[in-house]
Amino acid sequence: MNYETKLWKIEDITKNSTQIEAAANLLKKQEVIAFPTETVYGLGADATNEQAIAKIFEAKGRPSDNPLIVHVANKRQIDQYVSNIPDIAEKLIDAFMPGPLTIILSSNGVIAKNVTAGLSTIAIRIPDHPVARHLLEACQLPLAAPSANKSGKPSPTSATHVYQDLNGKIAGILDGGNTGVGLESTVLDCTSELPIILRPGGVTKDQIEQVIGTVMIDPALAKTDDQPKSPGMKYTHYQPEAPLWLVDGDADFFQAQIELNTDKGYKVGVMASKELAALLHTDNIKTCGTRANLNEVAAQLYETLRAFKKSDVDLILCESFEQAGVGDAIMNRLHKAASKKIKQSLSPDETSL
Ligand code: TXA
Ligand code: MG
């Protein structure tokens, strides 16, 4: 379907509620609207309506077996879509919602089947962004919303990113400026005896454990560690325009990688913290915040990935960050984005093309 995508710029949310009203009316007519959340922009549609949801999958080019997160305005609304709320989920809701945590609970079947990809569970969260909250209240619907990017690309942290990916494919975009957290919500499965983190995100494992005690980490997440993928392997997630190589080593090692690949004739782009950038000699560095505050790196990660253009670089060498706190989520995304991982401990032969 071809749309003339409306772009509503929201400068002052109280004064511009007519724009949110207009977006809410389109949602009630089964259209798809992009809106800001505190994590990334979401692509929302009525979670109780299969036709509306089908439009999300079509606009994004998303595989239909990947379920969506349902966004609601408040705790009461969660009750309407789940069969029960276990005690731990109650605690998590009180501690972190609204906020960047998504919990998986048993569905009561009210949400459309294509939202949950046929699963008996649903993922649900209360976003902490005034535009998202007002929109949910105005339309009075639960909104299923994946990140508002074309499938496979980095998630959008600004309305411009959404526009680049989805102009002409959706009815409208509410522009609420840059998102704050910059990475998606943490997804926590609360249907098993011990809750399991399925995706690290804006709320850290430590923060969750302070509220409900020990949680597990999905073993599938560990598999992305240290397993160099074959260079030709097709990307499926967070893909920048040029291949991303994740470099794990000190500044001298990083510099050697730049030179090795420049000597081979490649145009090398570098993505690094300002600390590492200060130690490197090369002319195409994009910085993404400071190591001293990984929240900054999280907030700038997708924007920086999107800033590398294939006309300028053949490959991107990217710093590895400490896997602690929000660093877990940062490294999870970078491992998924990377087509190759280069470690200082490997022999020089293994680090070449
Ligand atoms: O921060 C966020 O979570 C953003 C904003 C827009 O809310 N949304 C987002 O949605 O990242 P998406 O579709 O890009 O990622 C949803 C994740 C996927 O990894 C999906 O597999 C998982 O949640 N998911 C959804 N429903 C699930 C279910 N019932 N069981 C297990 N995983 C589920
Ligand atoms: Mg996504």
Among candidate residues 37, 7, 11, the one with its CA nearest the CA of residue 22? 7
Judge if 70 and 178 occupy the same domain: yes
User: With a 6 A CB cut-off, is 147 part of the ligand 1 pocket?
Assistant: yes
Specify the residue for token string 């998102």.
179
Tokens of 85: 């709320």
Judge if 92 and 191 occupy the same domain: yes
User: With a 6 A CB cut-off, is 145 part of the ligand 1 pocket?
Assistant: yes
61 secondary structure, DSSP code? T
Judge if 289 and 249 occupy the same domain: yes
> CA end-to-end span of the chain, whole Å?
42
Residue 233: the pLDDT is 39
Judge if 106 and 166 occupy the same domain: yes
Q: Which residue owns the Cα nearest ligand 1 atom 1?
A: 184
How far are the Cα atoms of 24, 147, 166, 172, 193 from residue 158, in angstroms, in the given order? 20, 11, 13, 14, 38
User: With a 6 A CB cut-off, is 123 part of the ligand 1 pocket?
Assistant: yes
How confident is the model over 117-138, as pLDDT tens digits?
Answer: 999 999 999 999 999 999 999 9
Ligand 1, pocket-test mutation among 124, 126, 147, 218, most atoms within 8 A of CB: 147
Judge if 210 and 266 occupy the same domain: no
Ligand 1, pocket-test mutation among 41, 72, 184, most atoms within 8 A of CB: 184
Yes or no: say if 21 and 138 are a contact pair by the CB < 8 Å rule.
Answer: yes
Q: Write the CB contacts of 199 (distance below 8 Å, at least 6 apart in sequence).
A: 184, 185, 186, 187, 221, 329, 332
Query: Rounded to an integer, what distance in angstroms lies between the CA atom of residue 174 and that of residue 218?
Result: 34
Per mean pLDDT, which range of 81-95, 229-243, 252-266 is the poorest? 229-243
234 in a structural domain: no
User: With a 6 A CB cut-off, is 185 part of the ligand 1 pocket?
Assistant: yes
Indicate if the pLDDT at residue 352 is higher than 70: no
131 in a structural domain: yes
User: With a 6 A CB cut-off, is 121 part of the ligand 1 pocket?
Assistant: yes
Q: How far is the CA of 260 from the centre of ligand 2 (A)?
A: 34
350 in a structural domain: no
Please report which confidence band the pLDDT of residue 234 belongs to, taking 50, 70 and 90 as the band edges: very low
Per mean pLDDT, which range of 10-19, 38-47, 233-242 is the poorest? 233-242
Query: Rounded to an integer, what distance in angstroms lies between the CA atom of residue 159 and that of residue 40?
Result: 10
Mean pLDDT for the chain overall = 93
User: With a 6 A CB cut-off, is 116 part of the ligand 1 pocket?
Assistant: yes
Cross-strand partners of 36: 41
**Burial of residue 210 (number of CB atoms within 10 Å: 0-12, 13-18, 19+):** exposed
Indicate if the pLDDT at residue 228 is higher than 50: no
Count the helices and strands in the chain (H runs, E runs).
13, 16
Judge if 78 and 145 occupy the same domain: yes
Query: Rounded to an integer, what distance in angstroms lies between the CA atom of residue 199 and that of residue 332?
Result: 8
| Closest ligand 1 atom, residue 185 Cα | 1
Residue 350: the pLDDT is 54
Helix axes 205-212, 87-96, angle to 10 degrees: 130
**Considering 159, 190, 222, which residue would you say is the last residue of a domain?**
222
Q: Quick one: which H or E segment has residue 223?
A: none
Which ligand sits closest to the CA of 155?
Answer: 2
Query: Rounded to an integer, what distance in angstroms lies between the CA atom of residue 203 and that of residue 159?
Result: 23
166 in a structural domain: yes
Please report which confidence band the pLDDT of residue 346 belongs to, taking 50, 70 and 90 as the band edges: low
Specify the residue for token string 């993404």.
288
Judge if 106 and 253 occupy the same domain: no
> Which residues have their alpha-adjacent CB atom under 5 A from ion ligand 2?
147
| Closest ligand 1 atom, residue 71 Cα | 7
Judge if 176 and 64 occupy the same domain: yes
Percent of the chain with pLDDT over 90: 88
Residue 235: the pLDDT is 39
Judge if 291 and 338 occupy the same domain: yes
Domain with residue 23: its CATH number is 3.90.870.10
Judge if 261 and 218 occupy the same domain: no
Yes or no: say if 69 and 125 are a contact pair by the CB < 8 Å rule.
Answer: yes
Indicate if the pLDDT at residue 7 is higher than 80: yes
352 in a structural domain: no
Residue 67 has a CB neighbour count (10 Å cut-off) of 19
Averaged over 25-51, what is the pLDDT? 98
268 in a structural domain: yes
232 in a structural domain: no
Averaged over 249-274, what is the pLDDT? 98
Query: Rounded to an integer, what distance in angstroms lies between the CA atom of residue 138 and that of residue 135?
Result: 5
Q: How far is the CA of 38 from the centre of ligand 1 (A)?
A: 15
Residue 13: the pLDDT is 83
Judge if 218 and 73 occupy the same domain: yes
Whether the bond into 98 is cis, omega within 30 of 0: yes
The number of distinct structural domains making up the chain is 2
Spell out the SS3 assignment of 43-55: EEEECCCHHHHHH
316 in a structural domain: yes
Residue 86 is part of which domain span?
6-222
Strands of the 338-343 sheet, one edge to the other:
285-287, 268-272, 315-319, 244-248, 338-343
How confident is the model over 289-330, as pLDDT tens digits?
Answer: 999 999 999 999 999 999 999 999 999 999 999 999 999 999
Judge if 288 and 201 occupy the same domain: no
Indicate if the pLDDT at residue 230 is higher than 70: no
